[in-house]
Amino acid sequence: MPRLVVIGGDAAGMSAASAVRRLAPEAEVVVLERGHDTSYSACGVPYWIAGDIDSDGDLVARSAAEHRERGIDLRLGAEATAVDVAARTVSYRTDDGEREVAWDRLVVATGARSVLPDLPNIDAGGVHTVKDLVDGRRIIEALTHAPQRAVVVGSGYIGIELAEALVARGLEVTVVEQSATPLPIVEDEIGHVIADAMRAKGVQLVTGAQVTGFSAEDGRVTAVRTAADQYPADLVIAAFGVVPRSELLDVEKGAKGGIVTDAQQRVPGLEDVWAAGDCVVTKDRLTGELVHLPLGTHANKQGLVTGESVAASLGAAWSGREFQGVVQTAITKFCDLEIARAGLGRAAAQAAGFEVVTASVDTTTSAGYYPGAEPMTLWGIADRSSRRLLGVQVAGGSGAGLRIDAAALALWSGLTVDELVMTDLAYAPPFSSVWSPVQVLARSLAKALTA
Q: Cα dist. 368→363, 371, 432 in Å? A: 8, 8, 9
* Amino acid at residue number 157: Y
Q: Are strands 282-283 and 230-232 parallel, antiparallel or unpaired?
A: unpaired
SS (H, E, C) 399-417: CCHHHHHHHHHHHHHCCEH
Contact 439, 419 (CB under 8 A): no
Please state, in angstroms and rounded to a whole number, the distance separating the CA atoms of residues 404 and 29.
38
Judged by DSSP in three states, 311 sits in helix
Give the phi and the psi of residue 270 in degrees, each rounded to 5.
-120, 120
* Residue 96 CA, distance from chain mean position: 34
Helices (H), 74-208: 133-143, 157-168, 188-200
Please state, in angstroms and rounded to a whole number, the distance separating the CA atoms of residues 49 and 47.
5
Helices (H), 76-232: 133-143, 157-168, 188-200
Give the phi and the psi of residue 338 in degrees, each rounded to 5.
-90, 140
Please state, in angstroms and rounded to a whole number, the distance separating the CA atoms of residues 340 and 401.
5
* Amino acid at residue number 361: V
Q: Provide the edge-to-edge strand list for the sheet that holds 105-108.
A: 73-76, 28-33, 3-7, 105-108, 273-275
β-pair partners for 98: 93
Helices (H), 146-254: 157-168, 188-200
* Residue 424 CA, distance from chain mean position: 30
DSSP secondary structure letter of residue 61 = S
Catalytic residue from among 28, 35, 43, 335: 43
Using alpha carbons, select from 293, 262, 300 the residue that is nearest to residue 278: 293
Please state, in angstroms and rounded to a whole number, the distance separating the CA atoms of residues 66 and 52.
26
Check if 43 is active-site. yes
Please state, in angstroms and rounded to a whole number, the distance separating the CA atoms of residues 308 and 18.
10
Contact 117, 240 (CB under 8 A): yes
Four-point Cα dihedral 330, 331, 334, 337, nearest 10: 130
Q: Which residues are catalytic, by number?
A: 43
